[in-house]
Each structure stands twice: as structure tokens, then as C-alpha cells.
Structure 1
Amino acid sequence: MKLWVIVAVGLLIHLVFFFSVFEVFFATPLVTDLTPHKSPLPPPAKRLVFIVADGLRADKILQIQPDGKSAAPFLSIEQQPFCADLQGKEVVFDTVFNESQYTWSWDTPKFLAKVTGGNQDRMFSDKYPGHMKYLAGINAKDMDTWVFDEFQKLFLEAKEDTTLQSKLSNERILFFLHLGGLDHSGYIVRPSSPSYLEHIRFVDDGVQKLVSTMEQHYGSDGKTAYVFTSDHGMTDWGAHGDGTADETLTPLIVWGPGLRKPSTETTKYADGLSEAWGLQDIRRTDINQASMAGLLAALVGIPFPKNAVLPMPDNVFDVSDEEMAQMLYANLQQLLAQVQGMREERETRSIKFAFTPFQPLSAGTLEDIKDRISRQLASKQFKEAIQECQQSISLALRGIRYYTTYDRNHLWFAVVSGYVGWMVYLVSLMFEENDVSASMPYPAQLSRRYKAGIIFFFLLLAVITFVVLFVQHTVWTQYIYVLLPYPIWLAVFDVYRQMLVFSGSLKPLLPYIALTFLGLQAGVMGFYYKQLMVLPILCFAAWPWLSKQDLLDKGIMIQWSASCVAMGVFALIPTGTRELQFNLVVIGGVLAIIVAFYVMRSFANRQLARRKQFLIYGFQILMMALAIFIMRHTAALAANDKRTPLVSQILSWIIFILAIVEPFLVTTDIRCRLFAVALAWMGPYILLGISYPFFNTLYQ
């Protein structure tokens, strides 16, 4: 088989299995046609203001600053209850907005469009103007100013518009404000900077004015609930998407009718967060962020989202036992309906003898639970009903988890077997030209029968698997993930001679296989403990002195080892920084250009490069110089709250795209190709690598 075909097939296989990760671990089946459930009692609040400060770190708004004051005086803990999310990184909004009587939203253009669902007459959404989004150098406060101004404009219009005034006077209405400025600010100036804290004070002031407008419009009737939170935090260097505490801890400050007031705490929290934030005397309530949908629904009395995966956080409420029991029972009914719908949907499309239901929640058990709680509510045994609901909710969550991951094992097995088969096939190809393989004494007729039998066996398995998937009405993507291993393993058995040679030669290769496995594990662990990467780097530094001493020039070996040790130093440096060191990046870029000229000179002396390649190298160096200028110019503009010119953005993308293409234009000589790759990627590194903590420590 030609090399380009193997590479193309390999890329396709890896692309397919890359998308399988989302199917295996992140797919959440949605059950339709479920009956909505809500408490029959009047809700604590008539209306809800839901504010999400995008990218706001919990510690930056909650902790006491060195001057003894809060960064957000109005949203301070002494005034409002506090809940911090310690787990999830996603908020399951589900149908909270759809179930409301009316929703007004000021947000990015993508969000509410996904959940409106034909309810445009009840959901009114304004989006950020295009020039306020994702442009370097823009004043991040402008994004939040627009949201606050639009909110104020709504109530000014209501004074003249009787139709709008009528809508605003309804119950079960939501106001959703998405403040994207802090997220943008964190990317530019970092969350530990004075500018970020100043932005928090700006948001705090905006929220205070917002609350004043609400209370004035509704005459301080005590029926407005407020929820202030964030979707995620941010690292010290302005990134998010990982699992560190700085990224996953988000503030949740709620106040209004039905919500508990601040109280003191006598016990110590084991995580040390309260002490670090100077809040050790304040009672803390930690919830999972996916419980937000239940919290919003319970506050204003709308049906609980039909596909919400977690219940409402009952520990933030201050209501009577009867109200709590009815809320929890409605929430439980929603979760049990989801379990029942998942079971029925799975049972309908499964082969009867192969279906295994979640035994603790059979159809009879579901009815028994609901009947028992209904009797307790009817006899006013509210405390008993609360306890029963809480236990049953835990059981329902286990059931939802069971059916959500029902297909995970067989998908996981299919993907792993496909990967293993592809690796075995590639190893087998390495022995295709082996003389031992060619001389193995197998009769031609037996070989053809063997191949025919293997092909028939795999074809039969594939047909059976396809029929099973078809009968179960499986989504089309799972056909690909489950059936793909069959042709891969068929190709493996087609090169059985090489497999036999490989298995016969396996014993002397065992040390190398073990080292490869350990190296892969060390690489994976390096994602969690970066310092572990020092060990394999040092092994690389010592490698030529142990096995290549007679083959390599001593000067090259010294350069190799010195480079490895220098790279190992970076693995020991803490991640993140508080300051932006643009000038250091400029210095690094200039040094890279000087080194590039030095290497080009050595290439010319050794006649390793032709004129065409020197032109390519020169062009790459020019791109590096251009990247240095763009980076420094953009930094200067951002410092003065000015937008990056469009030409700089276009040139930056051109530099990035050319970095992928340029190395393929030089000769395949390993030294020339590696040099081209290094030059090509220096431009993107200069544009992106604008800070590093080691240098920051030298400046402090």
C-alpha cells in the first residue's frame, strides 16, 4: 500500500475516533414529551433578575482585599447569602426561559436563539453590537455598559408603552443579563491585575443601579429575586477550560424572597477557601452549577426544566416546611419522569432479551414512591416528605446517570479496539519487507482459504452488528464507531505473515515496548504534574552519551544535552503570571532571528540548502520580524483601549496559515526540514507567547 494512502486512512480513522469522544463521554440524551411539574403553592418571587458575569473568578469578588474592603461592596457577603460552585463547568439552562411567562435577555447572539423554540412572542432578546465582541484593544467595560444601558432603557420605555408595562407586571418573568466584559478584560490584563478588580467594582456599581431601578419600578414589593453568578473562572494568565480551582470556582450570590439570609459559621471548611478569602465566619453553601436551572425555576414557580440533570439546591431557601416539601416533590416528579422516559425510550429501541433496566426504579417502584410522598403531604407530614423526597431524588439521579451512560461501554470498547487494531496494523507493515516474512513456508491454496474464511467471518460479524444497530434505531454516528474496527482488523489479518514475524520477534522488543508505554504514561501524567516531564527530558539528554558516543560528534552531543537541560528548566517553572512582559517577547524574537541567521550561515558552508530554500528561510525570518511588530503594536493599542487594526488581524492569520505550509516547501533533508519547522512556528509563538512567570519573578 502506498504511503500517502496509509497516511490518509490514518488521518480519517483518528478524526472519526476524535469525534467519538464526545459521543462516549459528553452526549446527554434528551427525552421529549415529558409532563412539566411545578409546586402547586405560590412561589417565593414573582420575577427574577439573573445576572451572569462571564469569566468572573470567585476569589476576586468574594475575598477581602489588602485594604480590608471588598472589591464589590454592594455584592459583599455581609449583605447577601453566598454559594460557590465547586464542581461543574456548565450551566444546564434547559427550558427555564421557555417556561417563563416573559423573558428579556441581553446576551451574545447565539445563546437564546438555541432555546427560543418558537416563543419569540414571549422571549425578547437583544444582542451585543458586532463591534463590541472579541476585538483586541477594545475597552471591555463598554460591553457591560451596553447591557446595563439597555436594561435601563427597557424601564424608561415602559413608562410610555402601556403594552410593555402590562407585560412587566406579570408574574413568572425573567430578566437575563450576560456581562461579557470581565471575560474579555481577564484575557487582556489578567485577573490579578488592578484593572480587573476595578472592572469588578464597575460591575458592582452597575448591579446596584439595576436593583435600584427594579425596586423603584415595582414599589419595593419584596417579590423580586436576584441571582448573580459566573459561568466560569480564569487562571492567573487569563485562560479557562481546564479543571483547576481558579477556573471552576464561581461565585453565586442570591438574595430576595424565599432565600436564606447571611449567617455566621462556627465550623471550619476543610478546603481552606473561606480562610483564604477572609470569610471563615460566614456560613457557606456549595452547590453544583448544573443545579442553577432548578434554583431559577423554584424561585419564580415555573415548571422545572424537563431535562435538568440535577435538582434544585434546597439548602439556599428559607421557606416553610410545606413549601419546601412541595418544591422538592415537584422536582422529584420531574426527575422520575425523566428516568421513566429514558427507560421507555431505551426499552422501545432495544432487543428485548438484551435490555437491562435500572432495577431500583422499576415502573412499580416509581408509583410507590410518588404514592408514599403524596400521602405524607396530604397528612401534613412535611418533614417526613422532605426527607423522603431527598432520598428519592438521589435514587433518581442514579437512574438518570445509568441511562445516560447506557451505551458507553460498548462504544468505548469499539473505539479502543479500533485504535489497537490500527496500531497493530502499522507495526505489521514494518515487517512487510522482512526477509523472514517472505520465506515463511505457507502453501498458496491454504493462504487463499485462510483469507476467504477471515473475510467471511468479519463480513458476517459486520452484518449482524449492523442489523442489531438498525433494530435498536441507533443514531447514525454509532454505526461508524462500532463498524469501523471490522475493516481495520480485517486489514490486520490480511498481513498475518508480518504479524507472525512480529510475534516471533516480540521478546527482544519487550524492553522497548515497556519504555514506550512508560513514556506515554509519563506524557499523560505531565498534563497534571508538569514537573514529571523533567525525567524523560533528562533521559533524552543522556541518551547520546550512552548509545551514540562513537557515531556522533562530541560538539553535537554537548549541544543536544545542553538544549535538553535548558528545556527541562521550563518544566519546573510555575504556570501563569500576573504581569504582561511584552518587551521580553520582543527580546526573544530578536534572539531567534539572530540564531536563524547563524544556522543559515552554517547551512551555506555545508551546502545543505539551495537558493530556493534560502529564499524560503529569509521569508520565514521576515514573518518573524512582522510578528514581533504586530505583537508589540497590539500591546501598545490595548494599553490605551484602542482596537487592533483589521490589517494586523489579517496579517496574524496569514502568519499562522503560512506556518503550516512553509515547512513542506523545503527539501526533505531532516536538518533543513526541522529548521524550516522551527522558523515557521516562531511567528505564531511570538504572537501568542506574551508572558511567562519565570521572568515575572525576576521583576518582583
Structure 2
Amino acid sequence: MLLFFTLGLLIHFVFFASIFDIYFTSPLVHGMTPQFTPLPPPARRLVLFVADGLRADTLYELDENGTSRAPFIRNIIMHEGSWGISHTRVPTESRPGHVALIAGFYEDVSAVAKGWKENPVEFDSLFNESKYTWSWGSPDILPMFAKGASGDHVYTYSYDAKREDFGAQDATKLDTWVFDNVKDFFHHARNNQSLFSKINEEKIVFFLHLLGIDTNGHAHRPSSRDYKDNIKKVDDGVKEIVSMFNHFYGNDGKTTFIFTSDHGMTDWGSHGAGHPSETLTPLVTWGAGINYPQRVSAQQFDDSFLKEWRLENWKRLDVNQADIAPLMTSLIGVPFPLNSVGILPVDYLNNTDLFKAESMFTNAVQILEQFKVKMTQKKEVTLPFLFTPFKCQVIQDLVTSLLTYPLSHFVGYLLVFTLGIEVLVLSFFYRYMLTAGLTAFAVWPFLTRLWTRAKVTSLSWAFFSVLLAVFPLMPVVGRKPDISLVMGAGLLVLLLSLCVVTSLMKRKDSFRKEELLVHLLQVLSTVLSMYVVYSTQSSLLRKQGLPLMNQIISWATLASSLVVPLLSSPAVFQRLFSILLSLMSTYLLLSTGYEAVFPLVLSCLMFVWINIEQETLQQSGVCCKQKLTSIQFSYNTDITQFRQLYLDDIRRAFFLVFFLVTAFFGTGNIASINSFDLASVYCFLTVFSPFMMGALMMWKILIPFVLVMCAFEAVQLTTQLSSKSFLIVLVISDIMALHFFFLVKDYGSWLDIGTSISHYVIVMSMTIFLVFLNGLAQLLTTKKLRLCGKPKSHFM
């Protein structure tokens, strides 16, 4: 069994690390054959303007005076070219945006996380396929395309990175620098025969990266005058560059111009997520091979932008950002970027149907080439019998066998079990799903014969289930400390302790005095904890700091919380209650409000669960009910007394997993764990120590876990359930982990990606951690220490 658990643990560690190998490694493949359209292209050269951080609405809308902020661009839309919105993907950052524009694929997170100025993964791009490319702009963007290019045909001209100053008074200088250097470049080319010859070649690209708008947006917000005035400056600069190109090339009609943006920006000056203000960017194209404006009477779009922009009569052609790369390559006749996934937007093209058809076919073959190479690579590293296409007949046979299938009871059980798993998965996103599950638990006894056999137990189960269901509805972040609730929880613990002590006083056995002494020590510990919480709060309010005596008592209580229960009787009820008292003393010291009541309510439900499982098994005739005061935890249990697993044991395992998830999310969630209240540890220390404070908060989170696992140990014992049932628990956890495995995101905002990883890590950690937690629960429940002398043999 030890070997089996060790092997299982190793496998789960492999699964834990697998997401980083599967989701966060580059999906790019190499070795494809370049594909290009064989017909003559419409343009000899292409000019790409990328206004970094420019929102579509801010460019297209009219200002308060009813005039355009970019009159030149608007004139293009109405009289010369085609326009639309380029829909970007998240994360809406500069690097992935430019990669999508120029290389035609949406860069994976593994590459984005490696850097912005470098080219950490080898990918093909429009620049690499061009005869020559000249680019001007930010040193953060240009080098990554030059480094990935083969040969020496991509030239970059960047300003000093110190110019990118969010605190600068005039960020438009970043754009005027680009425009001025482009004009100087062409002026210099007239006197340089080698350069003049190169820029008169075909299949060449000029890239102007304009960072001023993005910088002003970060510094002053997109609604600011600085941001909007920068758009006017860019519009003027684009007008000058276009005029210069037409003049330099003698109006030969062989230049294509594309104006777009890598991403937008929120109203508060940020980007990276998926808000429409970040994902909707402008796209305006004109020149060689581009369709002229098309007048329409109506257009079908889900948004109301057209009327706001007063462009409802000019046909809007929306694209995905990666589609711009194949559009540019088809215009100048270079091979499609090898890793491109963009689909050619043929509506932008002004050419023959034959050219459009050939271009679309080339685009399709280029994407197919990636599939072929990927399939070949997979086939080479996969066992032959595992690399087999799915057959419809196999699926049909499976469905048929399921429909004809071991019984209606089993199918119903399976459906309920599946629904329960989904509730657990959804609880990671919506805590109130735990409330729904606990409410269903409350109704469960009344739908079975339990209600007729054990009315008091059924009513207790329903009461505590509903009471526990309240906690997931409570707030988790930003709650104000309420010491009165902590004091109230302590009083409830003392009240329960008084009942136990009273019952011990009535006993006549020889161990009465020893048990009574242990419980009195725990009562004293609870009283001291309540005093420390109240005293510390008062001292901190008077700004007198943490009293030394309070600190000593707190640490002593924490140190003794795992030892004192081992002095109590191994009888199920006494041992579990002793564990509750010891852990509650520590939990009170770490509580600031209503969460202090949570372990107490959870434990009450656990005690009822033990009783109700006894009733459930007794009605099936498997075993006879015994008093919890007479059943004892034993370290050396005879495994021959354990019965075979029944279908109902799956429900018991599911209850355990559900209670564990409730223990984790009952008073918190991902946000509350990441931003916990430091006031929780003020009884132990007030000087900032992240590791010590984090360890204390982790123990606070684990205490409800320990209570649940100890209760499950009792369920296993009282129902004669084999320890193999714990494997069912691991299977349920693995099914949940499989859900989150497929929900891991390697795209989207950093928050979306991080949250999806956190969910998977939590579930996989729970699966791994349950093995260790099960060992701790066995230690707490079965180990027996004596205050003096040797333990009696029947206690071990």
C-alpha cells in the first residue's frame, strides 16, 4: 500500500508540472514550405503605420465641434480606401499585438513572458519574407523582428529608450522623431546610389512605429487633451509621409499604405485585458491593390459605433488582427509568414477574381502546411497504436452500450455524482455554489429512509448544513474586524466544553480524572485565547503594541495544540472533541471576525455526519450501530474487519471532498488568500515578517481541513470502511483537476491566465496534500500519550 501511494504521489507531481509543458511552451513548428501567390502583385512596396495604443473610437469619432481629430485619415475612409476595426486578442500588449500584425499569429504566453525586446522564439514574419524592410520607432519593438529575420535585410532605426518617459511634457516627440528620420532617410537616399537602388526594389516594406499616443495615454489618460492632440499630430505626420512617398516614386501607384494600432487603452490609461476599449483598434488601408470606398445604405453590426462616428454610409470591413499579415503579404507578393494563422480579408482587395482565388488558395495551403508538419512531429514521438484517428463506429458502440447498461439506480447515481462534481468546479468561480450544495445536503435525509429511522439526527444534519451554507455568502475581502464575534465563538466553545466536563464528572471509570484534567487544560487554553484576543485588540487601539505576555501565550497555545489532543481518550467522541478544542484555541487567536464561528459549525456538522453515516450503513444491514463513546481509534487496526466497498461509499468520498472544498472556500477565496488581513496574526507578532505571517495564515487555512479529515477517519472506523476508500477521494479530486486542466488559459489578460493556473494548482495541490493530511489526521486520532506511566495496551 505504501508503494502504491508513493507511486500515486509521484504521478500527481508529474501531472502538476504537466500544464507548464503543455500550455506554456511554444506551439510554433518549423520546416514548412513557403507559399506565395504566383500572379503579379498589385504593389511594389508597402508602408505600415502602427499608432501604438490608439483606440478605434477615439480616432473615428468626431470631436465636440463635429470635426475629425484625424482629417487626413477620415478623408481616406470617405474617398480613397477601405476601413474597419481590427479585433485584437488578449493580452493587449505591444509585443503580442505587433507579432499578430506582422507575423500573423497570436504569440503564446511562453514567449511573451521571456521578454519584449528580444525574439525568444523563432518565427517567420512579413519583414523576414520581404526583399528589404526599413523600420523606425521604439527600441522595445523593432529589434525582435530584426533578430528573427534571416540574412541582413531588416534595418532598424530606434531612438534612445530614455525618450519613453511617461512623465515627459511632450510625448509627441516620439512620433515626430520617426517622421523626421523617415524624411531624412529618403533625402539621404537621393545621394546614395546603393540605398536608392534598394528602396526602388519590389517586395519592400517600410514600418513606422509611433509610440507617442500610447505614452500620452498612460501618462494623461485617453480622454486627455494630450492624447487627442497627439492623434492630430500623427494624422499630420502620416499626411506628410504619404505625400513624400508619392512624390519620391513619381505617383507610380505601386505603394500600399496601412494605418492601424497594436492595441487600445482603457479610460484609466491601461491595457492588457479584454475590454473593448483595448481590443478594438482602427484599420485604414489605401493605395495599390486596395478597394475604394463603398457606399451602403445599411450595415449589420452589434455595436452603435457607426452612427456615433457618422460613418454608417461607408462600408466597414472588420478583421481579426492576425488577418492583416496575409493581407500585406498578398499585396506585395511575398510568401505568407510560415507561422501565420490569419485569414486573408479578400474584401479589402481591388483585383481580379482570379488573383483573389489564388491568394485564398495560397493562404489555405500555407495554414495546411503547419498542420502537416505538426502531425508529422506528433506521429514521430507517439506510439503507433496511440496515433489512430477516431472512428464514428467506436463512439456509436460506446453510446449504445451505455444506453443498454449494470441498472437505473446506477445511472441515477452517476448523474447525481456528475452534477456534484460540476458544483464543486463551479464553486471555484462562484462561492455561492457551495451554499447550493449544502442546501441540497440538508434535504438529502428527507428523501431517504433516514428520516423515518433517525429523526433527531436528520434534523440536526439539516440544521447545521443550512447554518454552514450561510458562510459562502459572507464577504471575504475588506471585511472589518469584529472582536465581539470572536468572543462569541469562544463562549460557544466554552459552553460545549462545560457540557463535556459535566458528562465526565458523572463517569466512574479509572480514566475519569485524567480525561477531566485534559479537558480542563483545554478550557483554560480557550479562556486564555479569548483574553489574548481582547487584550491585544485593546492594546493596539491604544497604540501600545503587542504585550509580551500575550505573545508568549499565543505561541505556547499554538505549540501545544497538536500535542494536548494526544493526551485524551482514543474513544471517537472524546478524541474528536479534544482535537476541536485545541485547534479552536489557535483559530481564535488568528480570527478577526465571523470566521471564528466557522470551524465550530463545521465540526458540529462533522459530528452529525459520523452519526448519520452509521444510520445509513445500519439500515442496509451491514453493521450495527455503536455509541461513539465506546468506539475507539486504534493505531493497529485489524484490516480483516473492513468490508468491501459499496456504491454508497462513493457518496461518502464525495462528501469528504465537498467538505474539504467548503473548508477552503467557506470564509475565503483566491483573492482573500492573496490579500489577507494582517490583523489576523497580531496576537503572534506585529513586526512585518512575510514568511512568518504567511506560515501562520497557512495554518489558519489548514485547521478546517484537519477537522474534516479527522471526522473522515471516524467515518471510516464507525462504518468499517476500508482505507482503500481514500482512493475514491483521490479519483474525485483528479476528475476535478482534469476539469481545471482544460480550463487553464495561455491567452487573455495576466489575471485570467494567473487565475486559471491557480485553480489547477489548488486542486492538484489538494490531491497531493490529502495524502499528507490523511497521515496527520491518523496521527491525531490514533496516537495516545499518557501524562505519566505507560499507556494501557487496549488504548493502542
TM-score range, shorter chain: 0.5 to 0.7
Give the superposition deviation at 1:151: 0.7
User: Does the CA contact (< 8 Å) of 1:191 and 1:236 recur in 2?
Assistant: yes
Q: How does 1:305-454 map to 2 (within 5 A)?
A: 305-357=337-389
Give the superposition deviation at 1:278: 2.4
Secondary structure class of the residue paired with 1:82 = strand
Which residue does the alignment assign to 1:32? 30
User: Does the CA contact (< 8 Å) of 2:139 and 2:160 recur in 1?
Assistant: no
Q: 1:114-167: per-residue Cα shift (whole Å, max 9, x none)?
A: 333464521111122122124523521111111111111110111110100000
Alignment of 1:131 with 2:129, yes or no, is no
Aligned length: 416
Secondary structure class of the residue paired with 2:84 = strand
Secondary structure class of the residue paired with 2:73 = coil
Alignment of 1:164 with 2:103, yes or no, is no
Q: How does 1:118-157 map to 2 (within 5 A)?
A: 119=150, 121-157=152-188
Alignment of 1:673 with 2:686, yes or no, is yes
Alignment of 1:99 with 2:129, yes or no, is yes
Alignment of 1:115 with 2:145, yes or no, is yes
Alignment of 1:205 with 2:236, yes or no, is yes
Instruction: Output the CA distance in 1 between the equivalents of 2:18 and 2:61.
Output: 41
Which residue does the alignment assign to 2:82? 81
User: Does the CA contact (< 8 Å) of 1:88 and 1:290 recur in 2?
Assistant: no
Bigger shift: 249-258 or 60-69?
A: 60-69
Instruction: Output the CA distance in 2 between the equivalents of 1:512 and 1:87.
Output: 47
Which residue does the alignment assign to 1:46? 44
Whichever residue aligns with residue 28 of structure 2, its letter is: L
Which residue does the alignment assign to 1:270? 302
Distance 1:548 1:669, change over 3 A: closer
Instruction: Output the CA distance in 1 between the equivalents of 2:54 and 2:254.
Output: 27
Which residue does the alignment assign to 2:218? 187
Secondary structure class of the residue paired with 1:673 = coil
Which residue does the alignment assign to 2:700? none
Q: How does 1:631-670 map to 2 (within 5 A)?
A: 669-670=682-683
User: Does the CA contact (< 8 Å) of 2:326 and 2:344 recur in 1?
Assistant: yes
Instruction: Output the CA distance in 2 between the equivalents of 1:179 and 1:105.
Output: 11
User: Does the CA contact (< 8 Å) of 2:166 and 2:218 recur in 1?
Assistant: no
Give the superposition deviation at 1:348: 1.2
Give the superposition deviation at 1:264: 2.1
Q: 1:423-443: per-residue Cα shift (whole Å, max 9, x none)?
A: 9xxxxxxxxxxxxxxxxxxxx
Give the superposition deviation at 1:510: 6.5
Distance 1:606 1:195, change over 3 A: closer
Secondary structure class of the residue paired with 1:126 = strand
Instruction: Output the CA distance in 2 between the equivalents of 1:359 and 1:129.
Output: 59
Whichever residue aligns with residue 144 of structure 2, its letter is: K
TM-score under structure 1 length normalisation = 0.53
User: Does the CA contact (< 8 Å) of 2:289 and 2:331 recur in 1?
Assistant: yes
Instruction: Output the CA distance in 2 between the equivalents of 1:327 and 1:258.
Output: 13
User: Does the CA contact (< 8 Å) of 2:256 and 2:286 recur in 1?
Assistant: yes
Which residue does the alignment assign to 2:111? none
Distance 1:27 1:321, change over 3 A: farther
Distance 1:256 1:197, change over 3 A: same
- Over aligned residues, Cα RMSD in angstroms? 4.3
Secondary structure class of the residue paired with 2:290 = coil
Q: How does 1:571-650 map to 2 (within 5 A)?
A: 602-605=541-544, 608=547
Alignment of 1:229 with 2:260, yes or no, is yes
Which of 301, 322, 330 in structure 2 is aligned with 1:290?
322
Instruction: Output the CA distance in 2 between the equivalents of 1:247 and 1:144.
Output: 21
Which residue does the alignment assign to 2:281? 250
Whichever residue aligns with residue 85 of structure 2, its letter is: A
User: Does the CA contact (< 8 Å) of 2:84 and 2:318 recur in 1?
Assistant: yes
User: Does the CA contact (< 8 Å) of 1:608 and 1:672 recur in 2?
Assistant: no
Instruction: Output the CA distance in 1 between the equivalents of 2:145 and 2:65.
Output: 44
Alignment of 1:536 with 2:483, yes or no, is no
Give the superposition deviation at 1:169: 0.6
Q: 1:316-336: per-residue Cα shift (whole Å, max 9, x none)?
A: 112110111111111111111
Distance 1:239 1:509, change over 3 A: farther
Secondary structure class of the residue paired with 1:78 = helix
Distance 1:20 1:241, change over 3 A: farther
Whichever residue aligns with residue 303 of structure 1, its letter is: P
User: Does the CA contact (< 8 Å) of 2:540 and 2:546 recur in 1?
Assistant: no
Instruction: Output the CA distance in 1 between the equivalents of 2:390 and 2:84.
Output: 33
Instruction: Output the CA distance in 1 between the equivalents of 2:291 and 2:61.
Output: 21
Alignment of 1:66 with 2:64, yes or no, is yes
Whichever residue aligns with residue 53 of structure 1, its letter is: A
Secondary structure class of the residue paired with 1:32 = coil
Give the superposition deviation at 1:174: 0.2
Instruction: Output the CA distance in 2 between the equivalents of 1:127 and 1:213.
Output: 21
Instruction: Output the CA distance in 2 between the equivalents of 1:250 and 1:150.
Output: 26
Which residue does the alignment assign to 1:304? 336
Whichever residue aligns with residue 475 of structure 2, its letter is: P
Instruction: Output the CA distance in 1 between the equivalents of 2:142 and 2:545.
Output: 63
Give the superposition deviation at 1:111: 3.6
Instruction: Output the CA distance in 2 between the equivalents of 1:272 and 1:291.
Output: 24
User: Does the CA contact (< 8 Å) of 1:609 and 1:672 recur in 2?
Assistant: no
Whichever residue aligns with residue 113 of structure 1, its letter is: P
Give the superposition deviation at 1:538: 10
Which residue does the alignment assign to 1:574? none
Q: 1:37-73: per-residue Cα shift (whole Å, max 9, x none)?
A: 1111111110000111110000000112221111100
Q: 1:634-671: per-residue Cα shift (whole Å, max 9, x none)?
A: xxxxxxxxxxxxxxxxxxxxxxxxxx9xx99x996349
User: Does the CA contact (< 8 Å) of 2:171 and 2:216 recur in 1?
Assistant: yes
Whichever residue aligns with residue 673 of structure 1, its letter is: T
Whichever residue aligns with residue 256 of structure 2, its letter is: A
Instruction: Output the CA distance in 1 between the equivalents of 2:278 and 2:384.
Output: 45
Query: Rg bigger for which structure?
Result: 2
Secondary structure class of the residue paired with 2:71 = coil
Instruction: Output the CA distance in 2 between the equivalents of 1:74 and 1:346.
Output: 51
User: Does the CA contact (< 8 Å) of 1:103 and 1:173 recur in 2?
Assistant: yes
User: Does the CA contact (< 8 Å) of 2:50 and 2:210 recur in 1?
Assistant: yes
User: Does the CA contact (< 8 Å) of 1:63 and 1:279 recur in 2?
Assistant: no
Secondary structure class of the residue paired with 1:187 = helix
Stretches of structure 2 that go unaligned for 5 or more consecutive residues are 1-12, 91-96, 104-123, 393-420, 429-460, 492-536, 550-673, 691-796
Q: 1:321-361: per-residue Cα shift (whole Å, max 9, x none)?
A: 0111111111111111111111111111111111245999x
User: Does the CA contact (< 8 Å) of 1:96 and 1:297 recur in 2?
Assistant: yes
Instruction: Output the CA distance in 2 between the equivalents of 1:349 and 1:550.
Output: 59
User: Does the CA contact (< 8 Å) of 2:142 and 2:158 recur in 1?
Assistant: no
Give the superposition deviation at 1:215: 0.6
Whichever residue aligns with residue 313 of structure 2, its letter is: D
Instruction: Output the CA distance in 2 between the equivalents of 1:264 and 1:40.
Output: 32
User: Does the CA contact (< 8 Å) of 2:213 and 2:230 recur in 1?
Assistant: yes
Bigger shift: 107-116 or 31-40?
A: 107-116
Q: 1:366-393: per-residue Cα shift (whole Å, max 9, x none)?
A: xxxxxxxxxxxxxxxxxxxxxxxxxxxx
Distance 1:348 1:511, change over 3 A: farther
Alignment of 1:239 with 2:252, yes or no, is no
Distance 1:21 1:58, change over 3 A: farther
Instruction: Output the CA distance in 1 between the equivalents of 2:161 and 2:539.
Output: 45
